C-alpha cells in the first residue's frame, strides 16, 4: 500500500516539477529587459566626447591636486546604529574629515569605487520593504551632501530592484561611471564611461570600470541584455579618447575590481567570462594611468602616509570598505615644456572618526527609526547563551534547512555553511532573537532557488565541505551545508570521497535527480560551484523572491516552532519563559 502511494507521490512530484521548470524557462525568455530603451538621468545623463584644446599652463607654474576616495560603502552609515559595532565605520564618520580636507583644498576631487547601494539594513529596507520615490537612499543622500564628484558602478549595485538603482542614479548629484557596460548590440556604453574635471588648473579624466564578473553573482533578470566587457581592452580604447581628444593632464582609473588578477580567475573562465579582478593587470600593462583606485576586494592600501607605492607599475590604491577610512592622494605638479609634470605624490589613509556627524545623523533620524523598528521585530525564540562559531554554523545549517522545508517538504538543501560570527551585546541574553540578528549573521541578500540535481552533482557541490572536513583550505563562501541528508567520508573505500545518505538511510543514487534548494548566488555562479557541477539552466525549477534570512526569521516567529537539536544548545522556545513572566507579574 504505502509503497504504491509513494510511487504515486513521486510521479506527481515529477510532473509538477517538470511543468514548473517549463513555465519558468518559458516566461524568462519572453520577458523584456528592464534596461531596454533606458538611459541614465541626472548628472549621469548626456555623455558626450568633446574635442578640447589642451589647457594652457604658464611657464614655471606650480599646482596641487587633492583626490579623496572611498569604496565598497555597501550603504554603511554609522557603526553606532542599526547594527552597532565596536569599530567605528560608516560614511557619517567621515563627514568631518571630508569637510576639513575641502576647507584646505576647495578643489578636491571626491570619488568612490562602487558597491554603494546594497548591504546596510537601511539600504535593504528602502530598496525592498519601503521604497521612497522622492528621496534617494540614505547613503546617496549623505554622498550628495558630501559633494561626491563621481563613483563607479559595482556588482552589488545590480542587486536591489533595478528601479531603485535607476532612481538613485537620477537623484545623485554625481556621475555613475562604467565604460564596460553596454546594452546588447550597442557600441556605446550604457553609463557614462568617464568624467572630466578641471581643478586647480589641471584637467583630470576619471575613467570608470566595473568587474566583468557581474554575471557570476547577479540574477539574469536584473542584468538582462547587458554586456560586461573585458576591462583591459575597454580601458585601452577610452584612454586614447581621453588623452587625444579630451586632452587631459591627469588620468585616474576608478575601478570596481580588485588588483589580484588570479582571484576568481578560474571561476570566471569556467563561464567564459573575462578576469573579474583586472585592476592590477591594467596598472602593470597599461601604464598610461597616473592613479588607479581599486575597489571590490575590500582591501586597504596603503594603510598609512607614504610617498612611495610599490606593487604595480602605476600607483594603485584601495580604500577599504564600509567607510572605515578615507584614502587621500596629494599630487604636486610643476610646469615643464608646457605640460604638468608630477614632482611628488603623498598617499594617506584617514581612519573613520569615533562619532558620526550629528547634523546629518539628525536629518536621517526619522528614516533610521523606521529601519530600527523593522530590525527590532522579534522571533519567539530566546537567547540562552551566546554560541561559539562551530555552534552557530551547525545551528545555522539546520535552521536554513528547516526554513526551506516549509516550502517543499521533499526538497533537500545546499545552503551557506558560513554565517558571520559577531560578538553580541550582553543585553541580548535572555531576550528574544530579533530580525537584527539575522542581518548580522547573514549579511548577504541571498534569495533561494529550487534546482533539480543529479546525485553526482550534489556530491560535486559539496567539494569545499569535504575539504573542510579534512582541515584543508576552502573559501568559506563555497562551503555548503547538506540539508535533509548526511554527507560523510566514505571509509569503506580507499580515498576520501563523500558518501551521501538520505534521512530514510538510503544511499544517494548518482544518476537520480533530487530537488535541492540553493542560494541565487551559488546558482548564478558564485564560487564557481555550478560550473564545476555542470549545472545548466534547464535544471532550474523555481525561484523564490523571499530572502533566505527573512525566511529563517519568519520560521522562528511561529510560537510553536520546533527548534533543531543543534540550536537548542543556545536557543529555546519562549512560551515557557513568557508564561513565567506573566505568572511573576500576577
Ligand atoms: Zn564588488
The CA 144 to ligand 1 mean position distance, Å, reads 21
Q: Average pLDDT, stretch 24-41?
A: 75
- What cell numbers appear for 422 in the block? 559577531
The CA 283 to ligand 1 mean position distance, Å, reads 19
Task: Assign 495 a pLDDT band (cuts: 50, 70, 90).
Answer: low
pLDDT attached to residue 287:
87
Within 13 Å, how many C-alpha atoms sit on residue 81's CB side?
26
Looking at the chain, the whole-number percentage of residues with pLDDT higher than 90 is: 83
The CA 323 to ligand 1 mean position distance, Å, reads 15
pLDDT attached to residue 11:
67
CATH of domain 377-585: 3.90.780.10
> Residues 314-360: pLDDT tens digits?
999 999 999 999 999 999 999 999 999 999 999 999 999 999 999 99
The CA 49 to ligand 1 mean position distance, Å, reads 28
pTM of the entire predicted model: 0.90
> Residues 119-144: pLDDT tens digits?
999 999 999 999 999 999 999 999 99
Task: Assign 489 a pLDDT band (cuts: 50, 70, 90).
Answer: confident
**C-alpha distances in Å from residue 323, one per residue of 60, 171, 186, 187, 296:** 39, 21, 35, 35, 13
For residue 62, pLDDT over 50 is answered with yes
Domain boundaries, the chain: 61-367, 377-585
Pick the CATH number of 61-367 from 3.40.50.20, 3.40.30.10, 3.60.21.10, 3.40.190.10: 3.60.21.10
> Residue 541 and residue 118: Cα distance in Å, rounded?
27
The CA 508 to ligand 1 mean position distance, Å, reads 37
pLDDT attached to residue 23:
52
Question: DSSP 3-state assignment of 204?
Answer: strand
Closest CA to 481 of 516, 510, 514, 507: 516
Exposure of 31 by Cβ count < 10 A (0-12 exposed, 13-18 middle, 19+ buried)? exposed
> Residue 177 and residue 197: Cα distance in Å, rounded?
14
Q: Average pLDDT, stretch 521-529?
A: 92
The CA 115 to ligand 1 mean position distance, Å, reads 5
Task: Assign 271 a pLDDT band (cuts: 50, 70, 90).
Answer: confident
DSSP state of 106: T
pLDDT attached to residue 12:
67
> Residues 397-411: pLDDT tens digits?
999 999 999 999 999
DSSP per-residue string spanning 517-556: EEEHHHHHTGGGHHHHTT--GGGEEEEEEEEHHHHHHHHT
The CA 56 to ligand 1 mean position distance, Å, reads 39
The CA 156 to ligand 1 mean position distance, Å, reads 6
Q: Average pLDDT, stretch 479-489?
A: 94
Which one is predicted more confidently, 74 or 9? 74
DSSP per-residue string spanning 128-197: II---TTS--HHHHHHHHTT--EEE--GGGGSS-HHHHHHHHHT-SSEEE-TTEEETT-SS-SS--EEEE
Task: Assign 17 a pLDDT band (cuts: 50, 70, 90).
Answer: low
For residue 585, pLDDT over 60 is answered with no
Task: Assign 63 a pLDDT band (cuts: 50, 70, 90).
Answer: very high
Closest CA to 301 of 321, 282, 285: 321
| Average confidence score pLDDT of the chain | 92
Tell me which H or E stretch contains 415. strand 412-416
For residue 418, pLDDT over 60 is answered with yes
Residues 6+ apart with CB under 8 A from 271: 215, 216, 525, 531
For residue 470, pLDDT over 90 is answered with no
Closest CA to 212 of 192, 188, 250, 182: 182
The CA 71 to ligand 1 mean position distance, Å, reads 9
The CA 175 to ligand 1 mean position distance, Å, reads 18
pLDDT attached to residue 578:
42
pLDDT attached to residue 392:
96
> Residue 152 and residue 40: Cα distance in Å, rounded?
14
pLDDT attached to residue 471:
87
The CA 226 to ligand 1 mean position distance, Å, reads 17
The CA 230 to ligand 1 mean position distance, Å, reads 16
DSSP state of 242: I
Looking at the chain, the whole-number percentage of residues with pLDDT higher than 70 is: 92
Q: Average pLDDT, stretch 80-88?
A: 94
pLDDT attached to residue 469:
87
For residue 369, pLDDT over 60 is answered with yes
The CA 257 to ligand 1 mean position distance, Å, reads 7
The CA 503 to ligand 1 mean position distance, Å, reads 38
The CA 425 to ligand 1 mean position distance, Å, reads 30
For residue 194, pLDDT over 50 is answered with yes
> Residue 141 and residue 135: Cα distance in Å, rounded?
8
Task: Give the distance, in angstroms, between the CA of residue 50 and the centroid of all CA atoms in the same chain.
Answer: 35
Amino acid at each position: 500500500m504505502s509503497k504504491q502511494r509513494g510511487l504515486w507521490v513521486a510521479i506527481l512530484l515529477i510532473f509538477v516539477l517538470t511543468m514548473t521548470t517549463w513555465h519558468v524557462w518559458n516566461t524568462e525568455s519572453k520577458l523584456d529587459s528592464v534596461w531596454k530603451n533606458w538611459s541614465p538621468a541626472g548628472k549621469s545623463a548626456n555623455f558626450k566626447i568633446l574635442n578640447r584644446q589642451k589647457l594652457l599652463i604658464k611657464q614655471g607654474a606650480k599646482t596641487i591636486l587633492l583626490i579623496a576616495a572611498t569604496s565598497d560603502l555597501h550603504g554603511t552609515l554609522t557603526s553606532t546604529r542599526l547594527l552597532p559595532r565596536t569599530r567605528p565605520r560608516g560614511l557619517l564618520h567621515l563627514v568631518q574629515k571630508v569637510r576639513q580636507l575641502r576647507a584646505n583644498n576647495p578643489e578636491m576631487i571626491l570619488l568612490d569605487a562602487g558597491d554603494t547601494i546594497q548591504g546596510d539594513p537601511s539600504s535593504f529596507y528602502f530598496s525592498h520593504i519601503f521604497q521612497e520615490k522622492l528621496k534617494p537612499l540614505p547613503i546617496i543622500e549623505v554622498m550628495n551632501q558630501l559633494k561626491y564628484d563621481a563613483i563607479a558602478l559595482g556588482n552589488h549595485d545590480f542587486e536591489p530592484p533595478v528601479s531603485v538603482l535607476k532612481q538613485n542614479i537620477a537623484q545623485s548629484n554625481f556621475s555613475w561611471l562604467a565604460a564596460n557596460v553596454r546594452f546588447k548590440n550597442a557600441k556605446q556604453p550604457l553609463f557614462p564611461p568617464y568624467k572630466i574635471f578641471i581643478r586647480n588648473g589641471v584637467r583630470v579624466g576619471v575613467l570608470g570600470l566595473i568587474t566583468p564578473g557581474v554575471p557570476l553573482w547577479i540574477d539574469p533578470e536584473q542584468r538582462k541584455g547587458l554586456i560586461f566587457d573585458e576591462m583591459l581592452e575597454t580601458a585601452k580604447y577610452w584612454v586614447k579618447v581621453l588623452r587625444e581628444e579630451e586632452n587631459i593632464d591627469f588620468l585616474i582609473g576608478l575601478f570596481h575590481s580588485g588588483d589580484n588578477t588570479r582571484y576568481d580567475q578560474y571561476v570566471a573562465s569556467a563561464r567564459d567570462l573575462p578576469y573579474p579582478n583586472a585592476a592590477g593587470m591594467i596598472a602593470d600593462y597599461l601604464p598610461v594611468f597616473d592613479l588607479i583606485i581599486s575597489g571590490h576586494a575590500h582591501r586597504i592600501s596603503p594603510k598609512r602616509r607614504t610617498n612611495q607605492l610599490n606593487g604595480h607599475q602605476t600607483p594603485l590604491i584601495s580604500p577599504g570598505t564600509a567607510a572605515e577610512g578615507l584614502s587621500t592622494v596629494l599630487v604636486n605638479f610643476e610646469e615643464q615644456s608646457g605640460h604638468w609634470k608630477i614632482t611628488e605624490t603623498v598617499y594617506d589613509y584617514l581612519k573613520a572618526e569615533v562619532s558620526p556627524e550629528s547634523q546629518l545623523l539628525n536629518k536621517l533620524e526619522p528614516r533610521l527609526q523606521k529601519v530600527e523598528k523593522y530590525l527590532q521585530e522579534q522571533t519567539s525564540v530566546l537567547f540562552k547563551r551566546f554560541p561559539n562559531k562551530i555552534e552557530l554554523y551547525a545551528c545555522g545549517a539546520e535552521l536554513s534547512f528547516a526554513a526551506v522545508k516549509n516550502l517543499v517538504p521533499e526538497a533537500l538543501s545546499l545552503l551557506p555553511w558560513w554565517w558571520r560570527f559577531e560578538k553580541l551585546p550582553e543585553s541580548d541574553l535572555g531576550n528574544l532573537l530579533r530580525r537584527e540578528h539575522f542581518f548580522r549573521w547573514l549579511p548577504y541578500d541571498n534569495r533561494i532557488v529550487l534546482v533539480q540535481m543529479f546525485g553526482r552533482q550534489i556530491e560535486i557541490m559539496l567539494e569545499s565541505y569535504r575539504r573542510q572536513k579534512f582541515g584543508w583550505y576552502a573559501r568559506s563562501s563555497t562551503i555548503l551545508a547538506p540539508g535533509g541528508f548526511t554527507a560523510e567520508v566514505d571509509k569503506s573505500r580507499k580515498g576520501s570521497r563523500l558518501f551521501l545518505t538520505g534521512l530514510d538511510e538510503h544511499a544517494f543514487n548518482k544518476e537520480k535527480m533530487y530537488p535541492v534548494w540553493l542560494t541565487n548566488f551559488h546558482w548564478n555562479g558564485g564560487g564557481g560551484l555550478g560550473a564545476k557541477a555542470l549545472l545548466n539552466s534547464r535544471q532550474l525549477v523555481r525561484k523564490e523572491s523571499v530572502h533566505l534570512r527573512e525566511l529563517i526569521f519568519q520560521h522562528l516567529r511561529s510560537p510553536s516552532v520546533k527548534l533543531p537539536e543543534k540550536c537548542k544548545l543556545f536557543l529555546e522556545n519562549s512560551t515557557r519563559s513568557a508564561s513565567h513572566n506573566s505568572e511573576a507579574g500576577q
